[in-house]
Chains A and B, each alone.
Chain A
Amino acid sequence: MSDIRNEAEAKQNATHKPPLDPHLKALENEAIHIFREVAAEFERPVMLYSIGKDSSVLLHLARKAFYPGRVPFPLLHVNTGWKFAEMIAFRDNIVKEYDLDLIEHINPRGAAENVTPFTHGSALYTDIMKTESLRQALDAGKYDAAFGGARRDEEASRAKERIYSFRTPDHRWDPRNQRPELWNVYNGMIRQGESVRAFPLSNWTEVDIWRYIQAEDIPIVPLYFAKKRPYVERDGMMIMAEDPRMELLPGEVRQEGVIRFRTLGCFPLTGAIRSNATTLDDIIAELETATVSERQGRAIDRDQSGSMEKKKREGYF
């Protein structure tokens, strides 16, 4: 595929699309500005790609930011080996269709020591397969900047994070000593080995993400839409029972129901919700009357108040 996206493609992008409303337009402009600033200031940027809805929006914004050129950095998928099969299929499709460079990393220790969410518990599993794995991948690529799709409205310690979030050479975040960040003038000066995590979606909310996906017609993993799917009830969550590695515990029964996911991660740790939302309109309507937050369905975020901050200090995204 040629490097220059041609005008025919631009026209095609434009069809059927009314202009964005001022609210989404302001968020989009801010994100594009951040993408360009990081790409210009750092030597080896990389974009964390987790295949979820926020990553889909992030990728779309990256393509917009550098159009008509290619996205000038690789995507990094820190895989655990326990993602939904549909996520991996979706990822491979997107990478091909958009002509992207993808790097996949799985912590070799996880495979060697057979670390699974079932045997090691969610906290240790996350620590090894996500946090440690991410640090390995960032070190291996010598990346000095990593884009992430985190939003401040997700969690109380995220709400405190800068758009350029400074990390020490061992990837630690020091929330008590963050650099001041005034206006949209970002300080990208670092020493050898230090790095910055950059968050173009900092000011987006969950509803913004869905409205933008709708307005821009962004492809997302079908698991976000309601469908009849097999699941078991475990720890008060509905866990999808489709993967052959998902063994039933004594007393558990395989059930079927119309369910969907509000957030996507590792299937053994991600709870589905009962929902009939099969379109983006349905999802947005459902969100506007939702009484629980999106983190509700994630085992790793529920452990206790302050658990996210602790993980982030250790290098988690």
Chain B
Amino acid sequence: MTVSATATAEALPLEAPVAEQARAIRDSRPLRLITCGSVDDGKSTLIGRLLWDTKAVKEDQAATLHRDSGKQNDLGLPDFALLLDGLQAEREQGITIDVAYRYFSTDRRSFIVADTPGHEQYTRNMATGASTADLAVLLVDARAGILEQTRRHATIASLMGIRQFVLAVNKIDLTNYDRARFLEIVHDFKEFALTLGVKQITAIPMSALKGENVVYDGRAAMPWYDGPTLVETLEKATTRSNQTVGFRLPVQRVSRPGESFRGYQGTVAGGSVKPGDSVVILPSGMVANVTKIVTFDLVRNAAVAGDAITLVLDRQVDVSRGDMIVAIDSQPMTGRGFDAQIVALQPDRIEPGKRYWLKSGSRRQRVLIEPVSQLDLKTSKWGTAERLGMNAIGKVHLTFDEQAIFDTYEQNRTTGAFILIDPDTNNTVAGGMITGRRSELGGIHKDDQRVLLSLPADLAEKIMASELFASRRQDVDIRHTTVGRAAEILGDLDE
């Protein structure tokens, strides 16, 4: 038998001088990741092992873990999953029920990890974890291979915008470190991932329990694998931001502490803003200019996606909670009909003809849902559907009483996301991702015909402030340029 340093629970500490470590962690926002996959594949054990090997488990917690573990395996190792499965019901049943959030860091980076349940009944809690993740660690039991639940989790993760996957082929110790089996599972998964459009996959053979290829390499047991460990992969993963898209500020509240001050408070959901920028308030379509960005610390000269700010405009406009302040030259879609994909999360089905509450950002409005199709996880094909049962992944039409404001989820993970709330129970019954606006045809325009106008800026501003313009804004392209350049472009078209 080979015994490597990685197979013991008393592994060496990660070496890095404290000062250097602190500096590295501060350089970026934490990477958010989830573990997912079918029930009992070792997700909680893996995160427990990760915490253990990165020294995130303190002595008193380790003592409690040893006490609670009892005799659970022949290796004399504690039951690492107990570091995560903190609810009494979870400990009694030996499964994860709800998502646990944990925090750890290496000398390179800090991480927020969400350990999600594999049990199908608790898919909603997996979706909760997936919605904010940058990366998914998808576990597969090397003996069982890819199961329907594995495919469900991979599909939900991908729908929710996760592009980076680690395929952790776990419990490899129980296959005698069988390389052929590992390659077979990787092949199966890559084939399936193609249908999801997922391309970034790092496959790692792993023993979560023994800590092989988690933080420490498993070379002693698997000399045939020379790829990265899990932690090496996580350290190199990228976080993403909404900074390169158009400016979006969903208004959370209007601050009016006195006659002389009126500010719009919210978190920038896309792009950036600075004093002097022209903005449009949706859905009213009013135009204004930014005069100040106020924060507690100082009056700032710019704010970017993610910043919680207070915006002051140059004129009296009607703005209230639920409105969105956006860049004048890069606006979201507005309208009453949208297409979306949703994940149904509760035993009560999503019914056509029922009016739900939809909340997106700070905006809550009534919506009718019309299910169009449902994904069959066995065949990866979309079939027709009239209602969506628990855990179904479906395509739906959304119809609103009033104007709604969205980007596609593809373009903006904040302004393209929503939840559905059942007005009878007040529970969150679905998570949704906008795929596009449905055009409300009518009128006499031909679909692909366009008109270019060249107008003085002040006249354009007046037209853009109109109700009609506001309702069709997403169909319009706007560029600022000089008189000369405009004449040139129009001249080119005449030729």
Contact = CB atoms under 8 A, between A and B. Distances in A.
A156 B81 CA distance: 11
A68 B128 CA distance: 34
A288 B18 contact: yes
Interface stretch (A5-13, A134-142, A242-250): A5-13
Contact of B103 (A181, A203, A289): A203
B294 interface: yes
Given A32-B308, A185-B360, A178 B86 contact: no
Contacts of A183: 131-132, 413-414, 417, 419, 431
Interface string B116-138: 00000000110110011000000
Contacts of B297: 10, 13-14, 17, 64
A4 B413 CA distance: 35
A208 B428 CA distance: 31
A290 interface: yes
Interface in A266-302: 284-285, 288-293, 295-296
Given A4-B257, A10-B298, A288-B22, A28 B308 contact: yes
Nearest to B88: A306
B352 to A, nearest CB: 22
B413 to A, nearest CB: 7
A65 B103 CA distance: 25
Given A22-B29, A23-B110, A40-B362, A67 B310 contact: yes
Contacts of A211: 26
Interface stretch (A44-52, A117-125, A187-195): A187-195
A67 B292 CA distance: 14
A167 interface: no
B266 A36 contact: yes
A254 interface: no
A284 B19 CA distance: 10
A133 to B, nearest CB: 25
B60 A293 contact: yes
A93 interface: no
Contacts of A39: 253
Contacts of A205: 103
Contacts of B131: 182-183
A108 interface: no
Interface string B41-68: 0000000000000000011110010011
B122 to A, nearest CB: 9
Interface in B248-299: 252-253, 255-258, 260-261, 263, 265-267, 294-299
Given A29-B308, A37-B362, A203-B103, A187 B426 contact: yes
B306 interface: yes
B263 A68 contact: yes
Contact of B418 (A22, A185, A291): A185
Nearest to B64: A305
A68 B255 CA distance: 8
Given A183-B414, A203-B112, A292-B58, A40 B321 contact: yes
A306 to B, nearest CB: 5
Interface stretch (B93-101, B178-186, B480-488): B93-101
Given A3-B257, A4-B260, A4-B261, A23 B252 contact: no
B269 to A, nearest CB: 9
Nearest to A35: B308
29 contacts: A3-B257, A10-B299, A17-B297, A23-B29, A23-B110, A26-B30, A29-B307, A39-B253, A40-B253, A69-B255, A152-B101, A153-B102, A153-B103, A159-B100, A159-B101, A175-B98, A178-B98, A178-B125, A182-B132, A182-B428, A183-B414, A184-B132, A203-B101, A288-B21, A288-B22, A289-B18, A292-B58, A295-B60, A305-B68
Given A67-B310, A175-B89, 8 more contacts: A40-B252, A152-B102, A180-B419, A288-B22, A292-B60, A296-B58, A305-B64, A306-B91
Interface of B: 18, 21-22, 25-30, 58-61, 64, 67-68, 83-89, 91, 97-103, 110, 112, 124-125, 127-128, 131-132, 252-253, 255-258, 260-261, 263, 265-267, 294-299, 306-308, 310, 321, 345, 357, 359-362, 413-414, 417-419, 421, 426-428, 431
What 3 pairs across the A-B complex have the smallest Cβ distances?
A156-B86, A69-B257, A21-B26
